[in-house]
């Protein structure tokens, strides 16, 4: 945006400068040529405005493309993080089931040991 503002200021400065030069020349030029210079000035201003508008349009398109690309990167990153979180939850669930199973086996084996020691 700063670049756009800078360019705008440059164009405005060029317009002011062109007008100043034009006004100086107008004093020197007779009225018949005045219309010709006004036409040329108007044409030059229209060209400058068109260039400025084209640059603004190009800048806007570039900004929109950058925005869309960043948004897509964020979406992909979010999907990857969500997938990783789901996998971690699944692993945690499986680990919990495994711990419960091992705890149950340990309790069963401990019971067998206790029973065999009582029998002796």
Helix axes 31-119, 2-28, angle to 10 degrees: 180
Q: Which of 3-12, 18-27, 69-78 shows the lowest per-residue confidence on average (mean pLDDT)?
A: 18-27
**Buried b vs exposed e over 15-49: b needs ≥16 C-beta within 10 Å?**
eeeeeeebeeeeeeeeeeeeeeeeeebeeeeeeee
User: What are the residue ranges spanned by the domains of the chain?
Assistant: 1-93
pLDDT score of 7:
82
Q: What is the pLDDT of residues 51-109, one digit of tens each?
A: 999 999 999 999 999 999 999 999 999 999 999 999 999 999 999 999 999 999 999 99
At residue 30, the pLDDT reads 60
- What mean pLDDT comes out for the span 41-51? 94
Structural contact between residues 37 and 22, judged by C-beta atoms closer than 8 angstroms: yes
Q: For residue 10, what pLDDT band results from cuts at 50, 70 and 90?
A: confident
pLDDT at 71: 96
Give the count of beta carbons closer than 10 Å to the beta carbon of residue 120: 4
Please, which pLDDT band fits residue 27 given cuts at 50, 70 and 90? low
Confidence at residue 74, expressed as pLDDT on a 0 to 100 scale: 95
Greatest mean pLDDT range, 18-27, 33-42, 104-113: 104-113
Residue 120 DSSP symbol: -
Query: Is the dihedral angle over the CA atoms 36, 37, 41, 42 positive or is it negative?
Result: negative
């Amino acid at each position: 945006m700063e670049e756009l503002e800078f360019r705008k200021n440059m164009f405005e400065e060029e317009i002011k400068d062109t007008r100043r030069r034009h006004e100086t020349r107008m004093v020197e030029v007779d009225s018949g040529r005045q219309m010709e210079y006004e036409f040329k000035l108007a044409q030059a201003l229209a060209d400058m405005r068109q260039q400025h508008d084209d640059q603004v349009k190009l800048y806007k398109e570039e900004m929109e493309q950058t925005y869309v690309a960043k948004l897509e990167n964020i979406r992909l990153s979010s999907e990857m993080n969500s997938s990783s979180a789901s996998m971690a939850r699944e692993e945690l669930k499986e680990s919990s089931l495994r711990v419960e199973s091992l705890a149950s086996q340990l309790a069963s084996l401990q019971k067998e040991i206790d029973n065999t020691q009582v029998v002796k």
